[in-house]
Structure 1
Amino acid sequence: MKSLKHLIIVLFLINMSCQNRTSKDEATSPSVTEIRNDIERVEPPHWWVGFKNENLQLLVKHPNIGSATPKISYAGIRLKEFHEADSPNYLFLDLEVANSAKAGKFNIAFQLEDDSELIQTYELKARGKAAEDYVGFDSSDAIYLITPDRFSNANPNNDEIDGLLEQGIDRTDGYARHGGDLQGITNHLDYIEDLGFTAVWPSPVLTNDMPTGSYHGYAMTDFYEVDPRFGTFEEYQKLAEDLRARNMKLIMDQVANHCGLYHWWMQDLPFKDWINDQENYEQNKDEWDWKTTNTSNHRRTTNQDPYASNKDYLEMADGWFVSDMPDLNQRNPFMANYIIQNSIWWIETLQLGGIRQDTYPYPDKTFMSHWAGAVMTEYPNFTIVGEEWSYNPLLIGYWQEGHMNQDEYKSNLKSTMDFAMQKNIVDALNEEESWDKGLVKMYEGLANDFAYTSPKDIMVLPDNHDMSRIFTQLNGDVVNTKMALSYLLMLPRIPQLYYGTEILMDDFDNPGDHGLIRTDFPGGWNGDAVNAFTGEGLKDEQKDMQFFLKTLLNYRKHSKAIHNGNTLHFAPDEGTYVLARITDEETVVHILNKNESPQELDLSRFEELELDGKMLRNIISDDRIHWGNSLKLNARGSVILTTKLQN
């Protein structure tokens, strides 16, 4: 009897041991008994299982790590090869992460020349959702662009961080830090959602440890770190989570072209060609300024120009954007991998709804095609918009996926920016009306859509963080501003508006000044006399513009005719211009009128809209109108009508 009990106990212990071993094997295979972080820096800091591309390249930074021999023992992970850099303080590891690999932690052992060993624990994570579920922004969205430092300061305790090069807050200086942060955006998502926006694009919030001008975010000194003056990594994730909970999207502003001059690698560059013009920089870095920098000639047309000299092209592509933003050399394969993996890392980390890529035509264009292709291969329903600041539709169309380019260039880029239409709208409204001016510029600008592969996937904007506010561009004319915004929101495009447009923010004191363009949003700081979030202290015309945009954006949010309907417009005549968006279920008619005196619009001209005898509703005023022989336009401005009589 005693021996039988003993046997049962032994069998029970063996069974428990097997269960425990199976559990551990599934988690880590083999298990990590001790978490160690002996290495100064490993990037990406972690990765995921289950990508289509099973290759992963780790950048390892540590004193004299280049002579070490790395070893990995983990099921589903194969160390294919490793590469020494020109600097002895780097090692690059090429891993294969098989689809059979399971999420878990494993150790990478680095055997040094003296037979000592350094250990770094690395983690593979399970992906948060399927790749197909990463749905990017499209023509059904309306995007709210924010400069985080100037929107709302929710946490004054992170305004100054010891050890960073730029210290202090000065809200009177347009180029100093003002203290806005990520929590400030999160705290006001109710406001943004109520306005009718469906996506938020903050300018970059990664660390910019620069001596001056660090507030804007485009001179990154660490591609994997949130700037602590904007908040914590967790607060960035919280912003993304709260947006998803509202069925809204977070768009990340990324920079593949350059970094900040004080990036951590600038004092010890991995390779001799890690950045462009590197030899010149290393010889003169102790006295580096704009005089010694080979800055870009900014001739972006060399990307398309069949007659461009190689010299001009290389000066554009390889020159530094400005003297304190080193130009990254994407032709270095290790740099190329670094940038691609960084983009994918942030998509997975934040479950992004899109990427805005800064200065799109400036990096090596072959690399940019490869970068966009790598992202879109992993996330087939994702969206990337590239910044191409050009007023020429030929250049805008060149960068969009599917465009039949003479040089056979394939961009893999879904969206680019319609600065051409932005200029047409401003010029049309500022010019006096005549048969060949004014509204004709808008009409002909839209007629250029034949040049685009997919017009509705292009982003259109009235202004942004780099140009005068639309209210300033239209010389303080409220009616013209409403016409510009309503027309823009009716187009077959993805609309982006800049924070404060809804309250007529301006830069009249010094038009075009970046510090003034990026003015603090009123109410974002304790003690502000005006609070645009609540309406307290706003002028009547500001409240009216808020109401106008809120009404229009919230209607647009649910109108499939505006999102994807057929577009039909009629050439401007006698100071009026009619545009329609049409589906089987709805027709939306947008009428622009530049006449100061009452105008009788002959509706027989628009017979093909098939609206004769129908009742329509004014989206802004909610008035009903009968579509008969004519329509009286009592005042200059825009009229937006829909065949849907109920909201």
Structure 2
Amino acid sequence: KESSDRGNKDGRHGGDIQGIIGHLDYIEKMGFTQIWLNPVLENDQQRYSYHGYSTTNYYNIDPRFGSNEVYKELSSKAKLRDIGLIMDLILNHIGSEHWWMKDMPSEDWINNNGDFVRSNHIHESVHDPYLTKSQKDLFSSGWFVKTMPDLNQNNKFLENYLIQNSIWWIEYADLSGFRIDTYPYIDKNFLSVWSERIATEYPNFNFVGEEWSSNITMVSYWQQGSNRYDDYRSFIPSMMDFPLQEALVNSLLSKETWETGIKDLYKVLANDYLYGNPYNLVVFAGNHDMTRIFSQLNEDMDLYKMAMTYIYTTRGIPQVYYGTEILMEGPADHGTLRADFPGGWNNDKVNAFKGSGLKNEQKDAQSFTKKLLNWRKESLPVTQGKFIHFYPSGGVYIYFRKYEDELVMVLMNNNNKTKNISTDRFFELLADKKQGISIVGNKVYDLTTKINLPGKSALILEIH
């Protein structure tokens, strides 16, 4: 129903799966190991169909992106480069143009008898002990928006349909993971069944849920193995770490005081005991729904490097929104936020795939990303090691990643001025180790003397 028009920032621009296949070399060389595409299933809506979150066919790739066969080809060719493919899955709702809306399989297939009743969008509704049942139900059974009819997963036929569809795509496309949209909006009893079926069938298959909340208890509630206030059973192995993202931005933008600053990062991680497995959380600086991280940080290159250094070295699995590596800017306006990656079209004046036309700052960011991500792939302390941190002192936050005898040290100075940092209080980890080599710059640091760390900077050292 909607054709391509690059002049319309809120419309389809013509990018497709074949274009991704054609640039797998860039993705591989940059150091990325997974590709998470926003939904590419058929989304035949009248407007705003490019984003994919209004599914109109659960078994077909949108023909404007390609075909099922091309999607499968992307998966297989990416796998040859040790890159996995993650499907963005929408279990909560469909698009209003889905054929079900014209011929519902049963009267209770869609919540509220198929009539539009808006969700209250109050995430606390799932947990609030004082709400009435009708208020609780409104969150999960109300429609997200008018063009997204809410599925009633209490219908056992629909439940089975969604489970079988998920399994089919894992098998058909040899997927490496799922990202599940609007996780808490979905009926929680269905999620318990669905997540158990997927986890049982594929014990090593990782899938992550989106609970957009800065409340750690609300995010941790869903992860498998977390301690809960009730007897709810959940089998989803990972969640998006929204609390950490918010703390990261706030800490870097705040002045260093008794209550604010880099210590906000420490405080979030100090609550990791609430999670079943904090090492399997997905950590990120930005995504497709929020102002780009470079813009959030006031287009400050120093803060950008601090933020991304943290994302690449903290506990968890880092996720990078496309274009972050070339400092793409944009407000939360979706059209601007999801702008074309430069170089994807023949007439583009800038080609980020080849580095032509980029500003020096963008080239620096791209090189910085490539260096850290490719180093990270080979670093056992960062990918498999324990996370150990020290309470921030004087606006400086220091943490370690440790795997057997291998050790990585990360130092973050959130002050405007240089800090000279003594290593004395890290004796339990450093012991008799006397030397650190920086990952960016390959500079040797003597750990028996104070480390000179410039203001608004981060330093990664491999300890020897």
What is the TM-score when the length of structure 2 is the normalising length?
Answer: 0.98
Deviation at 1:612, TM superposition (A): 4.5
Deviation at 1:350, TM superposition (A): 0.5
Which letter does structure 1 place at the counterpart of 2:33?
Answer: T
CA contact (8 A) 1:403 1:410 kept: no
Which letter does structure 2 place at the counterpart of 1:227?
Answer: D
Which letter does structure 1 place at the counterpart of 2:243?
Answer: A
Q: Which residue of 2 aligns with 1:531?
A: 351
Aligned residues: 464
Deviation at 1:415, TM superposition (A): 0.5
Deviation at 1:249, TM superposition (A): 0.7
Q: For residue 183 of structure 2, give the secondary structure of its aligned residue in structure 1.
A: coil
Residues of 2 paired with 1:302 and 1:594: CA distance? 37
Q: Which residue of 2 aligns with 1:477?
A: 300
Is 1:253 paired with 2:88? Answer: yes
CA contact (8 A) 1:589 1:642 kept: yes
Which letter does structure 1 place at the counterpart of 2:277?
Answer: S
Residues of 1 paired with 2:405 and 2:51: CA distance? 44
Is 1:458 paired with 2:281? Answer: yes
Which letter does structure 1 place at the counterpart of 2:89?
Answer: Q
Is 1:561 paired with 2:396? Answer: no
CA contact (8 A) 2:306 2:456 kept: no
Q: Which residue of 2 aligns with 1:212?
A: 47
Listed one character per residue, the Cα deviations across residues 317-351 of structure 1 (whole Å, up to 9, x for unaligned) are: 11011100110110011111110000000000001
Which letter does structure 1 place at the counterpart of 2:6?
Answer: R
Which letter does structure 1 place at the counterpart of 2:24?
Answer: L
CA contact (8 A) 1:612 1:627 kept: no
Q: Which residue of 1 aligns with 2:398?
A: 578
Listed one character per residue, the Cα deviations across residues 424-474 of structure 1 (whole Å, up to 9, x for unaligned) are: 000000011123211010111111111111100111111110111001111
Select which of 428, 448, 457 maps to 1:628.
Answer: 448
Q: Which residue of 2 aligns with 1:616?
A: 436
Residues of 2 paired with 1:566 and 1:209: CA distance? 46
Q: Which residue of 2 aligns with 1:588?
A: 408
Is 1:501 paired with 2:339? Answer: no
Q: Which residue of 2 aligns with 1:239?
A: 74
Select which of 8, 26, 37 maps to 1:191.
Answer: 26
Is 1:374 paired with 2:210? Answer: no
Q: For residue 185 of structure 2, give the secondary structure of its aligned residue in structure 1.
A: coil
Listed one character per residue, the Cα deviations across residues 305-328 of structure 1 (whole Å, up to 9, x for unaligned) are: 222210111111110111001101
> What does 1:17-416 align with in structure 2 at a 5 Å threshold?
165-167=1-3, 169-278=4-113, 281=115, 293-416=116-239
CA contact (8 A) 1:601 1:632 kept: yes
Deviation at 1:172, TM superposition (A): 2.7
Q: Which residue of 1 aligns with 2:457?
A: 637
Residues of 2 paired with 1:432 and 1:426: CA distance? 12
Deviation at 1:611, TM superposition (A): 5.0
Residues of 2 paired with 1:473 and 1:544: CA distance? 19
Deviation at 1:605, TM superposition (A): 2.2
Deviation at 1:493, TM superposition (A): 0.5
Is 1:437 paired with 2:272? Answer: no
Residues of 2 paired with 1:250 and 1:584: CA distance? 31
Deviation at 1:572, TM superposition (A): 1.4
Which letter does structure 1 place at the counterpart of 2:76?
Answer: E
Deviation at 1:634, TM superposition (A): 3.5
Select which of 606, 611, 619 maps to 2:426.
Answer: 606
Deviation at 1:565, TM superposition (A): 1.3
Which letter does structure 1 place at the counterpart of 2:2?
Answer: E
Q: Which residue of 2 aligns with 1:65?
A: none
Which letter does structure 1 place at the counterpart of 2:110?
Answer: I
Q: For residue 498 of structure 1, give the secondary structure of its aligned residue in structure 2.
A: coil
Listed one character per residue, the Cα deviations across residues 227-251 of structure 1 (whole Å, up to 9, x for unaligned) are: 1100122110110001111121100
Q: For residue 378 of structure 2, give the secondary structure of its aligned residue in structure 1.
A: coil
Residues of 1 paired with 2:370 and 2:338: CA distance? 22
Is 1:515 paired with 2:350? Answer: no
Q: Which residue of 2 aligns with 1:449?
A: 272
Residues of 1 paired with 2:433 and 2:284: CA distance? 35
Unaligned 5+ segments in structure 2 are: none
Listed one character per residue, the Cα deviations across residues 372-393 of structure 1 (whole Å, up to 9, x for unaligned) are: 1111111111111011101001
Listed one character per residue, the Cα deviations across residues 466-502 of structure 1 (whole Å, up to 9, x for unaligned) are: 1110011111111101101111111110111100000
What is the TM-score when the length of structure 1 is the normalising length?
Answer: 0.71
Moved more, 560-569 or 536-545: 560-569
Q: Which residue of 1 aligns with 2:245?
A: 422
Residues of 2 paired with 1:195 and 1:576: CA distance? 30
CA contact (8 A) 1:372 1:412 kept: yes
CA contact (8 A) 1:604 1:629 kept: no
Deviation at 1:594, TM superposition (A): 2.1
Listed one character per residue, the Cα deviations across residues 77-105 of structure 1 (whole Å, up to 9, x for unaligned) are: xxxxxxxxxxxxxxxxxxxxxxxxxxxxx
Check 1:315–1:634 CA distance in 2 against 1; reply closer, same or farther (3 A cut). Answer: closer
Which letter does structure 2 place at the counterpart of 1:393?
Answer: I
Which letter does structure 1 place at the counterpart of 2:336?
Answer: L
Listed one character per residue, the Cα deviations across residues 397-438 of structure 1 (whole Å, up to 9, x for unaligned) are: 100011221221011110111100000000000011123211
Which letter does structure 1 place at the counterpart of 2:216?
Answer: P
Q: For residue 47 of structure 2, give the secondary structure of its aligned residue in structure 1.
A: coil
Q: Which residue of 2 aligns with 1:551?
A: 371
Percent sequence identity over aligned pairs:
47
Check 1:455–1:613 CA distance in 2 against 1; reply closer, same or farther (3 A cut). Answer: closer
Deviation at 1:263, TM superposition (A): 0.4
Listed one character per residue, the Cα deviations across residues 187-245 of structure 1 (whole Å, up to 9, x for unaligned) are: 11111111111100001111111110110011011101111100122110110001111
Residues of 2 paired with 1:407 and 1:594: CA distance? 40
Unaligned 5+ segments in structure 1 are: 1-164, 282-292
Which letter does structure 2 place at the counterpart of 1:570?
Answer: F
CA contact (8 A) 2:224 2:237 kept: yes
Deviation at 1:635, TM superposition (A): 4.3
Residues of 2 paired with 1:397 and 1:634: CA distance? 36
Listed one character per residue, the Cα deviations across residues 618-638 of structure 1 (whole Å, up to 9, x for unaligned) are: 001111112113111234311
Residues of 1 paired with 2:192 and 2:280: CA distance? 18
Higher-Rg member (1/2): 1
Which letter does structure 2 place at the counterpart of 1:239?
Answer: L
CA contact (8 A) 1:369 1:410 kept: yes
Select which of 462, 466, 490 maps to 2:313.
Answer: 490
